[in-house]
Amino acid sequence: MISFSLREKNWIPYLLFLPVLIYLAGFIGYPLLKALQLAFSSEEGKFGLENFITLTQDSTFWKALKNTLYLLITIVPLQVILAFLLALFVNSRFKGYMTVLYIISIPLALSDVSAALMSYNIFTSHGFLNKFLMKFGFIENPIYFFGLGLSSRAFWVIVLTELWRATPLVFVILLASLQMISKDYFEAADVFGFSKWQKFFHITLPLTMPSLQSALLIRTLFAFQIFGVVWLLSGRDIPILAGEVYYQQAELNNFRLAATYGFIIALICIIISWVYITLLRTKHLEMER
């Protein structure tokens, strides 16, 4: 058996953690610093806010910011509400609830590209939806969801796709939280004559609030990074921040503006995270302060 001195034992945890630090520094830290350098440097290599000024003068930036916020305020509340209702439904432990659980969780195995392609095959002019409606006589001509001047329809297709694809993530988090609530609380509530609504507002909701906060934060951050679904279904007809990062980087080879877009996305995500953590702080955390 190998024996270590007290001094060596103190260094062992740091040595074990060293590979992780090297990985984070090489694959996350360095690219992050390089992106910041690009965002704050001009074409002449001078440090400044030239790239940010260029973006604020570009109408596409404001459209991308507006569309990203529209998607955020539309998708996230719907996902959280739908996931909560599904979690409450499955948590009732009815006969066959495990089958329903598996069906709801299927989209977790799909990438955003796969989900977008499936939605396109459903909603395109020759897709399943139009074929179904025309076969049963509901419409005579196909309904167009994608194309020039149809961005509002494409927007709602994107919302439906994201609801179907990403709601299971929130659902799993909330279901796990509901299953952790002890039955003793509900038995005590029955003794005191609580109604179902009183149980929900005084037991279920407060005890799931930490998980709800985490799910809300995760989905909000992911909503700011939506790219594949929007890009495949609408391209730049509906410009978004993440899409403009790709466009500036891959199509125009403008690394500085791409890095600037990325910095703005990261800054907004940090601000939103701070707001969520501050406003949705649970009571037991407030008492510990």
**Domain-located, residue 13:** no
Within a domain: 44: no
How many domains, the chain? Answer: 1
Question: What is the Cα Rg of the chain in Å?
Answer: 24
The SS3 assignment for 3 reads coil
pLDDT tens string 207-236: 888 888 888 888 888 888 888 899 999 888
Residue 163 lies in a domain: yes
Answer whether 65's CB lies under 8 Å from 260's CB: no
pLDDT, tens only, 21-68: 898 888 888 888 888 888 898 877 788 888 899 898 989 999 999 999
Q: What is the spatial distance between Cα 153 and Cα 155, in angstroms, rounded to a whole number?
A: 5
pLDDT score, position 287: 46
| pTM assigned to the model | 0.84
Kindly state the average pLDDT of the residues 178-201. 86
Average pLDDT in the 124-153 region?
88
Domain-embedded: residue 31: no
pLDDT above 70 covers a percentage of the chain that reads 93
Residue range of the domain that includes 217:
59-288
For the stretch 154-158, contacts whose Cβ atoms lie closer than 8 Å and that sit 24 or more positions apart, written own/partner, are 154/233, 154/234, 154/237, 154/238, 155/67, 155/70, 155/71, 155/234, 155/238, 157/119, 157/123, 157/233, 158/71, 158/226, 158/229, 158/230, 158/233, 158/234, 158/238
Check whether 281 has a pLDDT greater than 70. Answer: no
Average pLDDT over the chain, rounded to an integer: 86
Residue 117 pLDDT? 92
Assigned domain for 132 exists: yes
* 266-277 average pLDDT score: 86
On the question of pLDDT at 1 being above 80, the answer is no
Q: Read off the CATH number of the domain in which 217 is found.
A: 1.10.3720.10
Residue 8's pLDDT is 63
244 pLDDT higher than 50: yes
For residue 33, tell me if it sits in a domain.
no
On whether residue 3 sits in a domain, the answer given is no
